[in-house]
A and B are shown apart, each in its own frame.
Chain A
Amino acid sequence: MTAERRGSERLVDLLSGQEEKLVGQWIEGVSHTLRGRLSAGELGHELRELYAALVAALRSGEDWRAEAFSEVRALLTELSRNRARQGFTPTETATAVFALKDLLAPSSETAQEDITAYLRLNRLVDALGLFTVETYAKTREEIIGSQAEQLLELSTPVVKLWDGVVAVPLVGTLDSARTQVVMEKLLQTLVDTGSDQAIIDITGVPAVDTEVAQHLLKTVVAARLMGAECTISGIRPQIAQTIVALGIQFGDIVTKATLADALKHALRRLGTENPAVAARSAR
């Protein structure tokens, strides 16, 4: 048997021999650095799974890029993604992995063979720690990217569809602050363009909760106070059913299936008040 092979085996022996005790130490050390922001159950489960996978992988070698380590890599990927999403820092995330080294930290009495095993573990853990940080960074980038996308979508401009008709397509996940900004912009555009028909299209909105509904209703009332009329279009079937189940009443607000229907309606309304516009839109 080669020295190389023996070193590997010793490392597996050390880690699996006192598995319960070492895993316990590891969990304790890590939970300390996270200061209780992750439940003991969650963390324990996570690290136990990882430890078992690591020991299993080590039985066939120490190359963390090898096929044998695919489970370890998958678990680390999941760990760093979760940490990134839950707002932990890169240091807090990586420390969980680096803390593995402490488990075999040698003392003055440690046998040479065990010191060698410790050094081998060190090298492996360094690589795994860096892999974790890299995955973490990638996830953060994805999160930031998708947030920017949402912002962009929500800064959707209010458009003038026709003489006297303005419309705003609402897209994406709406939160209260953003909805309010869009609604204020719509009211301002009504004034700026001297329009008296407004269309709010919600085809691109995945869910309408009571808060979003409240903003919609307030906007319609405000538009009325300004002498304008507001139509809501693009209420898809699943949204309609949800609104009804929630108990929200849209009262006498005009709703249309599509933006095109809403525009037709707005033009008709303009026409009954102003024949010149009707003539123009009829052409």
Chain B
Amino acid sequence: MNGQSVTAEEEFSTLPITTNDDVVRARQLVRALAQQAKLSLVDQTKLITAASELARNTLVHGGGGVMRSGLVERGGRRGVTARFEDSGPGIPDLDLALTDGWTSGNGMGLGLSGARRLTDDFTLASKPGAGTTVSITKWVR
């Protein structure tokens, strides 16, 4: 209920990502959380941009999926987590996918590697044929 309270993982709100509009929605949702968590303007922008990259990857490369997001806390620090899940083709070579400039399509190939640099915590899990999950967190400084 209370917008200020921390959300337990299983209560993260779920946003389907199946259209371009959903990518915009994902960005707006993460923006609202970043503001609630009182991230600095620079950190807000970094987190929103990372979320935008990952939401688009979920749509374009993963064939659609969901974003689960919420406020988190660790060691007295507040943060925002967004997790992107799809059950698409998966990523065969994680190191390659995380290489600056590498793309399997016509992108800039900076989305995954960039999102890792833009956030504090970044975890990428993927199984070819079974899908991809990327989770990012930005902590209040």
Contact = CB atoms under 8 A, between A and B. Distances in A.
A281 interface: no
Interface size class of B (residues with CB under 8 A): 35 or more
Contact of B1 (A78, A82, A237): A78
Nearest to B55: A209
A144 interface: no
Contacts of B42: 237-238, 241-242
Given A173-B27, A214-B108, A247-B100, A242 B20 contact: no
Contact of B13 (A82, A206, A238): A82
Given A175-B24, A214-B107, A245 B11 contact: no
Contact of B114 (A82, A87, A206, A245): A245
A207 B28 CA distance: 11
Contact of A207 (B14, B52, B100): B52
Given A86-B15, A247-B110, A206 B23 contact: no
A190 B58 CA distance: 36
Nearest to A237: B42
Contacts of A39: 14
Contacts of B45: 206-207, 238-239, 241-242
A38 B25 CA distance: 17
A229 B138 CA distance: 38
Contacts of A241: 42, 45-46
Contacts of A173: 24, 27-28
A225 interface: no
B48 interface: yes
B118 interface: yes
A207 B48 contact: yes
A243 B57 CA distance: 18
Contacts of B27: 173, 207
Nearest to A150: B24
Contacts of B88: none
Contacts of B111: 209-210
A247 B114 contact: yes
A155 to B, nearest CB: 16
Contact of A242 (B15, B21, B49): B49
A211 interface: yes
A91 to B, nearest CB: 19
Interface in A39-73: 39, 41-42, 45, 49
B83 interface: no
Interface string A11-44: 0000000000000000000000000011101100
Given A42-B14, A210-B114, A237-B42, 20 more contacts: A39-B14, A85-B25, A86-B14, A86-B15, A173-B27, A173-B28, A175-B20, A206-B31, A207-B27, A209-B49, A209-B111, A211-B107, A213-B108, A238-B44, A239-B45, A241-B42, A246-B49, A247-B100, A248-B108, A248-B114
Interface of B: 1, 10-11, 13-16, 20-21, 23-25, 27-28, 31, 41-42, 44-46, 48-49, 52-53, 56, 100-101, 107-108, 110-111, 113-114, 117-118
